[in-house]
Structure 1
Amino acid sequence: MLKERIKKLRKIFQQSGLDLFLTDDFANRYYLSGLESSAGWLLISLNSAYLLVDSRYFEKAKKEVSDFFEVIEVEDFFKATARICETQKIKRVGFESHNLTHQKLVRLKSALRGKKLVGTIGLVEDLRSQKDESEVTLILRSIRVAEIAFKNILNLIKPGVSEAELAWELEKKMRDLGAEKVAWQPLLIAVGENSALPHYGHGKHKIKNGDIVQFDFGAVVGGYYSDISRVVFVGKPSVRQKQIYNLVLEAQRQAIDLVKDGAVGGRIDGKVKEFLRKKTDGVFRHSLGHGVGLEIHELPRLYVGSKEKLQSGNVITIEPGIYLPGWGGVRIEDMVLITKDGCKVLTKLPKKIEEVTV
C-alpha cells in the first residue's frame, strides 16, 4: 500500500522534472511512511526513500516503518538533506511551498547551495483525496464511534444542562469507545441563539424547553477523522423550526443527489445555495462540503468558484445550513464516499424530525 503511494508520487514529481521530493508535513509524512511523529522529514528520490528523524523517534521508526525506507537519526535536518543530495547527485529538489515555513526555506537554500529548489503545491494532498479501501474502513470506524457516542448522550439533552456539560460527556464517550482524540477542540454544541454561529464552540449556556441544540462533532480513529452535524429539538419543535429544518434537509438531499465522479464541486455548492435563497434568508456562506481523512479539512472543497472535479474515492462532507441571528440555526452534515455513479452515504445517524426531538 505504502509502496504504491510512493510509486504514484514519484510519477507525479518526475513529470515536474524533480529529482527529489521533500515533506515535513505531519499528515503527508504519515500517509507516505506510516510513522506518527511530531517531527521528521521524508525525502523521496526516483530510486530511494529516506525518513529523517531525531532521537525521540528513531527506535519507533525502525520498528514501525517499512524497510524500503532508510531511517536515519539526525540532529540537523538541513545538513542531513544536503548530504543525501550530494550522495544521490540530486539537482532539483521539490518542497511543499504551502507547508514549509519561510524560516526553514531560508535554511534549506543555505544548506543546498547549487541545487534548484522548486516549490510544489498539493502533490501529496491530491493523492490523499482519493481514499483506498483501508482508509475508508478507518473513516467508517471513526464515524461509528462518533455516532454511538452521540446516541449515548441523547438522554442527557434536557432543560438545565449546559453546552459544556454535553461537550464533556460526548468527548468522554468517544474516548471510551476507542477514539484517540476528538476531531477538534472545542466541539460545537450550541444552544438556542448560539446555533446561528456556524463555528461557535460551546459555553455555559443552559438548555431550556423549546431550544434548538446544534451539534458538530467527530472522532479520530487510526489517524482518520469523522465530521458530523446534527440538530436536536428540546420539546415539540415550532412551525418555524420545522420549516427551517426541513429546508436544510431537502437542500442536503439535493446535494447528495448531485455529487458523483466528475461533478464540479463549486457548481453543486451554487445550486444548493440558489435553492435555499429562493426559500429563506440566512443561507450558509461557508462551503457546502470538504474532504475528510487524515485531517478534518482536506481536498476536494465544494465552494462557489471552485472548479475542482469530484473523483471516485473522495470522502467528503455535505453540510448545508441556515443561520438566523437572534433566532438560531440548523446545519445537517453527513459524510459520503464518491462513486462513479453517485455517492454512498457513510453517516447513519437518523435525520427525520421526529427522530431528533427529545
Structure 2
Amino acid sequence: MLETVKKQWKQILVILMLYTAWNIAVFFFLVRLQGLETTMKQFGVGTQLYVNFIHTIIKGTIVYYILIYHLIIPFIRNRNWKRFILQCTLLFVALTAYEYVWNFTISKTDPASNNYISPKVFLISAAVLDCFIILISYFVATLITSNEMRKHKEELEKEKLRAELAAIKYQINPHFLFNSLSFIYTKTLRSSPEAAHAVHLLSEIMSYALDDWGELGTVPLALEVEHMKKVIEMNQIRFSHNLKIKYYEDVQESDASIPVLAFVTLVENAFKHGDLNDEKNQVSIELIATKSKICFLVSNKKKTGPKEPSKGIGLNNVQQRLQLMYGIKHSFTIKEDENYYLNEIIINL
C-alpha cells in the first residue's frame, strides 16, 4: 500500500515538474515574441499573475495525471473503447464547466478588456484544447506503456536465464561433488601426480561454473580466460595431450566484464563437435582484447561419424545474456557449412 502511494506521488511530481517547465517556457517565448507588457496583460498583473499561474499548474497536473494514468494507460491495456470515451467525455465536460466558472465568475474579465473572449469562442477554444491535451497524453502514455513492457520483457528474460543456469548447476549436488573430488585428489597425489592434477583442475572448473556471480552472472575477462585455459588443459590431459589446438591471445584490457562461461561454452562446443585430431585443420581459439573492443573467435572442423545430440541451450543462453548486458554494442556470429563451424563474439566496450 505504502509503495503504491509513493509511486503515485512520484508520478504526480514528475508531471508537475514537466508541466511547470513547459508553462515557464511558453511564458518566456511569448515575452520574446510580443513583449513583456502585452504578455503580462494576458496572464495578469501582480498577485493575479501568480494566482493564474499556480491555478494553471495545479489544474494541468491533475488533468494530465488522471488522463495518463487512470484513463489512457488502462485503455491501452484493455482496449475498452466505450468506457474510455465515456470517461474522457465526463472529464472534459467537468473541466470545461470548471474553466467556464473560473473565467466568467471567479476570475471574471471585463468585457471591455482586450483579453475578454465571449462564451461561444471560449467553448470552441476549450474543445480544441481538449483534443490537444488528449493527443499529448496519449503520446506520453504510449511511451510509458512501451517502457514498462520493455522492462517487463527484460525481467522475464533475466528470470528465464537464471532458471536455466540454476537448472544446469543443480543437476548435481555441489557439496557431494567437491568432497568426492577432494578425496580422489588426496588418494591419487602420490601414485599419479597427473591424475591428481586433473582432479584438481576439475574441482576448480566445477567451482567456477557453480559459483554465484550475481544477477546476470558476470566476471572479469581475466577470470574467464583463466578458467577457459583450465578447460583446455583438462581436455588435453583427457586425450594424452594429442588434441590439435591453435591458441592465440592478445589481451590489453583484462578488467572488462563478460557473462560467466561465455567463452568457455564456445570452447566446450568445439571440443564436443569438432575434429580434434586433424593436424591441418586445428581447432582455432583467438582472443583479442583492447580498451575499446573484445574479439573472441572459435573455429573448428566438424568431426565425422555419429554426432552427439545438441539442443543449443548453452549457446542460446550466452547469446541472450550478451544481449541483455551489451545490447547493440555486441555481435554474436555463428557460421556453419558442411565441414566447418565458427563462433565469434565481438563486444564494443
TM-score of the pair, normalised by structure 1: 0.26
- Hey, which of these two has a bigger chunk of helix by percent? 2
- Hey, which of these two has a bigger chunk of strand by percent? 1
TM-score of the pair, normalised by structure 2: 0.26
User: Looking at CA atoms only, which structure, 1 or 2, has the larger radius of gyration?
Assistant: 2
Which structure exhibits the higher relative contact order, with contacts defined as CA atoms closer than 8 Å and separated by 6 or more residues? 1
